[in-house]
Amino acid sequence: MKRPRGRPRKHPLPLLVAAKTTKGRSKTGCLTCRKRKKKCDEAKPRCMNCEKNSVFCEGYPEKQIWKSGKQRAEEERLKAQSLPIITMQPIFYGLETTEDRIFWRHYNKHVSGVFTVEGDHKNAFTDMIIPIAVKHQGLMHSILSLSSKHIDYHTPYGMNILRDNPLTTREALQYRAEYHHESAFQKLRENVARHVEKSSPEYRNNLLGRYGQMLCLTLESMVEGNTVPDHRHHLTAYQVMIQESPPEDPAFFAFIDEFFQYHIAADELLRVDESPKPKHDPHNWTNTMPSHSPRLLGVNDGLFDLMSQVNSIRSTIRSRLDNHIEPAVDYTSLYQADGIYAAIQSWNPSFPSRDSRALVGLLYKQMIWIYLFRTVHPPSPCPSSASLPSQSGPLLEIPAAIVNTPPQSVASSCASSPTLPAGASNSTYAGFGLPGPASSQPSLKNNLVPATPRYLGVNDNCSQTIGQRIDHDPRIKVAVEESLSILESFKPSDPSQTLLLMPCLIIGSACFARAQQDRVRAAVRAVRGYTGLRNADCVSQLLEEVWRLMDAGDWGAVWDWQSVAKGLGLEFLI
């Protein structure tokens, strides 16, 4: 039966609910009162139900005022303002901003692996350089500057850096890069100017840091593809330092010496002037350090000594051609060439066959032979010149056939503007009595034609050479084909790519067929893709000009490709 409307509802005896007070004691409250949302018998301390059960009813908790999320956030902010302010100091000098940490990660993950073939498990650019840098501000600035110059923001890798770090911009990264570059030069000048006794604990760290900075500054010229030869300033300073203040650490000594001697020999390859230059001569000083496992090629195995001798022969022949002295290749040069060939023939790589550097060693062996063969077989400069030694004669023999064994593959990959720093002043190495860097001299970068032409056959009104063309010689064809086969056997991710730019240049200068030239272009692109070094672009530019001269039939200029590089203002470090 339906209950009449308006009649009060009868409530059953209220149930008791247990709860816990803020002080931890038991309490109860009647459900009837709670449903009606009011206190029980406000005039009395206890309601009837609670009184029956002999318990105390505390009623409902105090009313809370509702606040929006924005109001609560503002209250938290006001509370935070009342806290003291602390300053987070950098754990390492130089690593202070978001941009600095981007450069730091890029160096450790990518840049440090580009300049060595050792692999991540044993890398001197991290194992030796980083512990010195955390104690030496100048070296830390040099590392961050080198890393910042290596990033190309036009590549997918550089774009990903900007995308993954929304708190920075490209302009901020470039500003910080210039800051580290200028700071590195400033610290280097201060280091050179400050005299520290050898007995001082500070001496060792300053000396190692100075060597490390010179190394980084040399690498910067390769990263930027700098055509102003500032790198020669650092190479010359190294030749002085290593004799006067060699590092005491045997491992560091071996690493730094091999690196600089390799690049001194590479720089000598492109030198055509008669100004003083650093020579790759291991007999200039006594190496008392123990032997070590080589990281690079050509330094400890004597191969670059042979290339230096070929450079001397080429300079002599160039001088005789410029002065119209006949014959251009005299008896002394021929006799020296035969001795160099015998040394090349007996040379073998020192690496085990499973190491990809063993295959690179065979490529270097063939590269030196090609360089020697092309050197002692220049074209006749003009019709009135006496005929040179027959280019089809048995002066040199092709080395034994090279076995094309695929190298061991190591998975690896890698991803601004080349400007000279304001800090690159003449006094950087004033403590050694050395001249200022080449940046203080007028740049040849924009001069596509040299003031004094050095191409053969230009000054004597003889632009075309005569006699048997060297590109028809079957010996050079065989050597070039074998070399190109080795170049193409390296995978794009092989760490040995860092050693292949020099062979690309020398072998490419002897590629007379269009198909061979295309294969060299692909090899240079592979080196550029793996290393990210923009000096590979300079090699491409030089080779394209040499190949253009081949099409024009200017065989004298093709032979003297070093003078072509100088005429283009391409005095870069390979």
Does the pLDDT value for residue 449 go beyond 50? Answer: no
Q: Which of 256-265, 473-482, 538-547 has the highest mean pLDDT?
A: 538-547
Widest pairwise Cα distance in the chain: 138
Predicted confidence at residue 384, as pLDDT, reads 38
Structure confidence at residue 55 (pLDDT): 57
What integer best gives the mean pLDDT of the chain? 77
The answer to which of 17-31, 65-79, 530-544 has the lowest mean pLDDT is: 17-31
**CA pair distance 200, 566, nearest whole angstrom:** 46
When comparing pLDDT for 426 and 330, which is higher? 330
- Which of these ranges, 111-125, 300-314, 467-481, 559-573, has the smallest mean pLDDT? 467-481
496 pLDDT more than 60: yes
| Tens digit of each residue's pLDDT (9 = 90 or more) over 221-248 | 999 998 888 899 999 999 999 999 999 8
**pLDDT for the residue 72:** 85
The lowest-confidence range among 274-283, 336-345, 371-380, 460-469 is 460-469
Spatial neighbors of 217 by CB under 8 A, at least 6 apart, are 142, 184, 188, 230, 231, 234
Residue pair 572/543 in contact by the 8 Å Cβ criterion? no
For 343-397, the pLDDT digits (tens) are: 999 998 888 778 888 899 999 999 999 999 999 999 865 543 333 333 333 333 3
Indicate whether 527 pLDDT > 90: yes
What pLDDT is stored for residue 558 in this prediction? 94
Across 553-565, average pLDDT? 93
Would you kindly state where each structural domain of the chain is located, as residue ranges?
A: 27-65, 90-224
User: Where residue 122 falls among pLDDT bands split at 50, 70, 90?
Assistant: confident
Residue 19's pLDDT band (cuts 50, 70, 90): very low
Note the pLDDT of residue 47.
Answer: 58
- Average the pLDDT over each of 81-95, 160-174, 443-457, 463-477 and give the range with the smallest value: 443-457
Cβ atoms of residues 287 and 261 within 8 Å: no
**Taking 60 as the threshold, does the pLDDT of residue 473 lie above it?**
yes
Give the Å distances, CA to CA, from 59 to 17, 18, 36, 345: 12, 13, 12, 105
**520 or 31, higher pLDDT:** 520
DSSP for 442-469, written as a single string: PP-TT-SS-SS--STTTTTT--S-BSS-
Q: Over 70: is that where the pLDDT of 320 sits? A: yes
Angstrom distance (rounded) from CA 417 to CA 153? 10
Q: CB neighbours of 64 closer than 8 A, spacing ≥ 6?
A: none
Q: Residues 248, 249, 252, 257: is their CA dihedral positive or negative?
A: positive
Least confident of 30-44, 122-136, 429-443: 429-443
428 or 239, which is more confident: 239
In percent, the amount of the chain with pLDDT more than 90 equals 50
Question: Mean of the pLDDT values across residues 152-169?
Answer: 92
Does the pLDDT of residue 511 top 90, yes or no? yes
pLDDT value of position 74: 84
For the beta carbon of residue 369, count every other beta carbon within 10 angstroms: 24
pLDDT band at 272 (very low <50, low <70, confident <90, very high): confident
* Distance in angstroms (rounded) separating the CA atoms of residues 565 and 574: 12
Burial (0-12, 13-18, 19+ Cβ within 10 Å), 541: middle
pLDDT reading at 163 higher than 90: yes
Q: Which long-range contacts (CB under 8 A, 24 or more apart) does 168-172 make?
A: 168/98, 168/99, 168/102, 172/99
Query: How high is the pLDDT of residue 94?
Result: 87
Q: Is the dihedral of CA 139, 145, 150, 153 positive or negative?
A: positive
- Give residue 302's pLDDT: 86
CA 33 to the chain's CA centroid: 79
Helices and strands (DSSP H and E) totals, the chain: 22, 2
Task: Examine the pLDDT at 443 and tell me if it is beyond 70.
Answer: no
- Looking at per-residue confidence, does 261 or 88 come out higher? 261
Look at residue 503 in the predicted model and tell me its pLDDT. Answer: 95
Q: Which residues contact 477 (CB under 8 A, 6 or more apart)?
A: none
The answer to whether the beta carbons of residues 237 and 432 sit under 8 Å apart is yes
Which residues, 6+ apart, have CB-to-CB distance to 318 below 8 Å? Answer: 272, 560, 563
- Does 451 or 309 have the greater pLDDT score? 309
* Range scoring the smallest mean pLDDT among 54-68, 109-123, 370-384, 480-494: 54-68
The 3-class SS string of 251-267 reads: HHHHHHHHHHHHHHHHH
**Amino acid 50: pLDDT:** 59
3-state SS assignment for residue 428: coil
Q: Is the pLDDT of residue 43 over 70?
A: no
How far apart are the C-alpha atoms of 349 and 407, rounded to whole Å?
14
